[in-house]
Structure formats: C-alpha cells, structure tokens
Amino acid sequence: MIKNFTPALALVLSSISLATMVALPVHAEDAKGNRINVRGSVVSFGGSKLTVKTREGETLDVALADGWQVSAVANAKIEDIKPGDFVGIASLPKKDGGDGALEVLIFPPALKGAGEGSYGWDLKPESSMTNATVADAVKGVDGRTVTVAYKGKEKKISIPDGTPVVTLAPATKDDLVPGAVVFVPAEKASTGTVAHQLVVGKNGVVPPM
C-alpha cells in the first residue's frame, strides 16, 4: 500500500498520474465530454468527498476514487529552468509570434517524458499546455525565452519575470483544509464529478495550472 512507500516514492507515483492527467487535451469539444479541470478552494473534506468553491463561484462536490492521490507544489525560480529539464508550460499565443507563459511546472527527473506533447488547455481562453524538454534557455531583458522540444517538434515560449514557476512536492490529505487552493483534474460520471488525483496549495504556494 502507498503508506508503506517512502514519501519520495509516493510523490513520484502520484505525480506520474498527475502529469498524465495535466497533459490530456482540453479542447472546446472536450468541454461537452467527461473531462473537467476544477480550480478553486476547499470548502470541506471528509472521507472520500471534497467540496470545492470553484473559481467560477460554484460549489462543487468531488468524489475521490479509491486509491486517490494528492501532491503539492513548491516554489522554484526561473533561473532553475535548464536545458534538458522536462517542463509543463501553460501559455498563450503572442501577437508578435511565439507563446508567452502563464505558468511553468518543472517536473522531477523521474517524470521526464510523462504526457509529452502540446495540447489545448483551459486555464485561459486560447491557452495551451506543453509538456516538453527544454532545448535551450536564453536570458533576456524581461525574463527568459525557452525553446522546448516534443515529439519531433519545437516551440518557443517566453517566460516573463513574475511568471509562477513551481515544482512538485509531497502532500497528504491533512493538507486539504478549508480555504486551501486546489487543482483537480476530474471526470464527469453518471454519479457526479470523480477525481483520482489532485494538487493542493501548501506553505503559501498555490497550484498555478
């Protein structure tokens, strides 16, 4: 059982699941399907039910499936992003070409390649999520520009100073206190909204994805 693993191993196992879920495409047509990303703050948690006040203002009950897992995020720095790192970057197209980052998740080395690709994302309208390897990172006047490579393709993304940059961190169900900020990749089922994993804010760091 998961409680018998070391915290580091437990984090890797939950994060692999999370990385895959975060990378799944969320296109306009998917909004009518089973996938839903829940962003908001915890109202209450008990047993296998998490109640969330979503960013849209709705109060939503999320059923936590058997074996559900939780991770947190920890602050990182833009200077931590190096060639060879595997990252997940939510971004928006820029008027002058390329993309501008909305947030960056630096994956632990054990998760390199998880959910590789670039997909539509629902953080903001027209945003995308790119899970890819950093080919180069160039410091500029305002932040850093990275070229990332995935599945034989490349994408250039600028990361302005002040962009949230995080990495994964351990968490437990005890962190699901009222007011804690959560990101929950979930599914709509006949019985309601169901999740197998989630990310919770901890030590003042909130999930930016």
Rounded to whole angstroms, how far apart are CA atoms 86 and 179? 31
Q: List strand residue ranges (DSSP E) for 76-180, in order.
A: 86-93, 99-106, 117-120, 128-139, 144-150, 153-159, 165-170
Tens of pLDDT, residues 15-56: 545 554 454 444 433 444 588 999 999 999 998 999 999 999
Indicate the DSSP class of residue 47. Answer: T
Tens-digit pLDDT profile for residues 138-157? 877 677 899 999 999 999 99
How open is the CA angle 180-194-178, to the nearest 5 degrees?
A: 15
Q: What is the distance between the alpha carbons of residues 133 and 113, in angstroms, rounded to a whole number?
A: 8
- Structure pTM? 0.83
- Cα Rg of the chain, angstroms: 17
